[in-house]
Amino acid sequence: MVPERLCLRSNRDEVIQLISQIRDVVLKEKRRIYLYFDRLQYLEPAATIMLVAEIDRCRSVFPKNKFGTTIMGNYPEDNKVYAQLCEMGFYRLISVVADDRIPHGILPDNRPIFLSVKSMSRVEPHLAAHFVRLVMQGAFEMADSAQRKMVAALKEAMQNSNEHAYMHETEYPVVKRRWWIAGHLDPETREMMVLLFDQGIGIPRHLPVTTFDRIKGALAMSWTPTDGHMIAAATELFRSSTGSAGRGRGFRDMKRFVDACDDGELRVLSNRGAFTYTRDDTRIDDYGDSIGGTLIEWRVRHSSVAEIHGD
Amino acid sequence: MTELRYSLAREFARDPGPRYKKQGPNSGEAFRAVLRDLLGRGGIVRINLDGTSGIGSSFLDEAFGGLIFAEGMQASDVLARIKLESSDDETYILDIMESIEKAQKQKKY
């Protein structure tokens, strides 16, 4: 049963439990699963992209067993939820024939524009540039230099989802190099949000341990860093000239937008950890269970022309 | 000494891509092959980085740092032969210099 609130912020445990259950039933036990959407009342884009990704993976790895399609489900009773799933490209991505017509008046005219979930296996640089043009049209204006920074940050994030995520073997079978992107633009509040998700090994496992060990050694620290600490460190590090590790400067540029604009947040969840960055605060969290990959949620709101200066 | 001028946006790609060829089009690895060819002609190579939609640091690292860590060149040769221009974003040049320096350091040890 899909929970009433598909939301990582307010209902993380149930969301992770649902996704783990899908994964275990289909990928480990090789059985079919039926998802009941009846109770679903609220959809958070971050949790939705994870659910879509899990269904997409399961249907790619084990599309059918001898009894038929491995993942099936019903439609939500709530029309707004159904409409939002349609707008996010949920049904299209998982190849379910749905009545895509959204009943008139169900959704407010000034609602955010969802950029439907895309499943990718390569880095398409024009996609980053296209997204930034959409931000300019649907959220806020940017100076030329800020546009280039945003494009570069998105390309780096795509690069990481595609490359580092799948450097080592993962616990569950994956579609190698597969990652997902989605977003929304809100002309009313002049806000943009982009989400990237991969089902790879997670930042804590591909961050060069030597880097953290050096910091620990210098500070005579004895404790082992948690996943949350490793993610926080990854957002500060740039490297690598060996080409084998490091996450580039994508996070740095994302943080600069958060700092320079009216409001914003960079939230990175990876394995059991989470790191949240706002202009006034940073927060590290650790949980008992893993999200099974890395999710980046980057949100920026700005009411005038965004400018990002210098380094 | 002869000087070759090359525009990244006009002659390679307006949308520079990821680090490796296997990851997608217009990669840093592919651009490194262009740089290698240009350097093979002798003289100074002047690269203009303006006019792109935005360049990721991994692209720059693989293209320019890669001349040292993948092609075996010395940083001093690269710095003597390649001249960089960017009025769009000076951090591109800083990123490239950092990549070259770090690649050389890692090569030594």
What confidence score (pLDDT) does residue A178 get? 92
Q: Are residues A273 and A186 in the same domain?
A: yes
- List, for residues A94-108, the tens digit of each pLDDT value: 777 666 556 666 667
What confidence score (pLDDT) does residue A215 get? 59
Any CB–CB contact under 8 A between A155 and chain B? yes
What confidence score (pLDDT) does residue A243 get? 44
Q: Are residues A63 and A160 in the same domain?
A: no
Query: Is pTM, for the whole model, over 0.95?
Result: no
What confidence score (pLDDT) does residue A311 get? 59
- How much is the average pLDDT of A216-235? 75
What confidence score (pLDDT) does residue A241 get? 36
- How much is the average pLDDT of B33-54? 96
Q: Are residues A219 and A283 in the same domain?
A: yes
Residue A208 belongs to some domain of the structure:
yes
Which residues numbered 233-292 in A keep a CB inside 8 Å of some CB on B? 238-243, 248-250
* Rounded Cα distance, B30 and A305, in Å: 35
Higher pLDDT, A178 or A97: A178
How many structural domains does chain A have? 2
pLDDT confidence band for A113 (50 / 70 / 90): confident
Angle at which helices A250-260 and A144-162 cross, to 10°: 140
User: What domain range includes position B74?
Assistant: 3-108
Counting beta carbons within 10 angstroms of the beta carbon of residue A113, is it exposed (0 to 12), middle (13 to 18) or buried (19 or more)? middle
- List, for residues A25-45, the tens digit of each pLDDT value: 999 998 888 999 999 999 999
pLDDT value at B7 more than 90? yes
Measured between beta carbons, the chain A residues lying within 8 angstroms of B95 are 249
Q: Out of A21-35, A64-78, B58-72, which region has the weakest mean confidence (pLDDT)? A: A64-78
**Inter-chain touch A241–B54, beta carbons under 8 Å:** no
- Ranges A22-31, A162-171, B99-108, most confident: A22-31
What confidence score (pLDDT) does residue A154 get? 96
Average pLDDT, chain B: 94
Average pLDDT, chain A: 86
**Inter-chain touch B88–A151, beta carbons under 8 Å:** no
CA distance B44 to chain A (A): 23
Higher pLDDT, A64 or A187: A187
Interface test with A, best of B31, B49, B91 (most A CBs within 10 A): B91
Any CB–CB contact under 8 A between A310 and chain B? yes
Search chain A and give the residue with CA nearest B64. Answer: A241
Q: Are residues A119 and A81 in the same domain?
A: no
What confidence score (pLDDT) does residue A176 get? 82
Tokens (6 digits) for B11: 């002659």
A-to-B residue pairs, Cβ atoms closer than 8 angstroms: 109
pLDDT value at A249 more than 50? yes
Among the candidates A41, A69, A95, a domain finishes at A95
How many structural domains does chain B have? 1
Report the amino acid identity of residue B73.
M
Q: Are residues A246 and A172 in the same domain?
A: yes
Residue A100 belongs to some domain of the structure:
no
Any CB–CB contact under 8 A between A108 and chain B? no
Q: Are residues A65 and A198 in the same domain?
A: no
Among the candidates A46, A70, A95, a domain finishes at A95
**Inter-chain touch A156–B20, beta carbons under 8 Å:** no
User: What domain range includes position A65?
Assistant: 1-95
Q: Are residues A75 and A151 in the same domain?
A: no
pLDDT value at A220 more than 80? no
Measured between beta carbons, the chain A residues lying within 8 angstroms of B52 are 148
pLDDT value at A240 more than 60? no
Query: Alpha carbon of A52 to those of A13, A33, A88, A291: distances in Å?
Result: 17, 14, 10, 14
pLDDT confidence band for A209 (50 / 70 / 90): low
Q: What angle do CA A285, A153, A311 make, to 5 degrees?
A: 95
What confidence score (pLDDT) does residue A205 get? 78
What backbone phi and psi angles, to 5 degrees, belong to A6? -90, 85
Region of residue A127 (phi > 0: left; psi between -120 and 50: alpha; otherwise: beta) = alpha
- List, for residues A273-289, the tens digit of each pLDDT value: 999 999 999 999 999 99
CATH number at residue A248: 3.30.565.10
- List, for residues B79-94, the tens digit of each pLDDT value: 999 999 999 998 999 9
- How much is the average pLDDT of A151-161? 93
* Rounded Cα distance, A98 and A3, in Å: 21
**Inter-chain touch B18–A163, beta carbons under 8 Å:** yes
Q: Which of B18, B61, B65 is closest, CB to CB, to A123?
A: B18
Q: Are residues A91 and A116 in the same domain?
A: no
pLDDT confidence band for A54 (50 / 70 / 90): very high
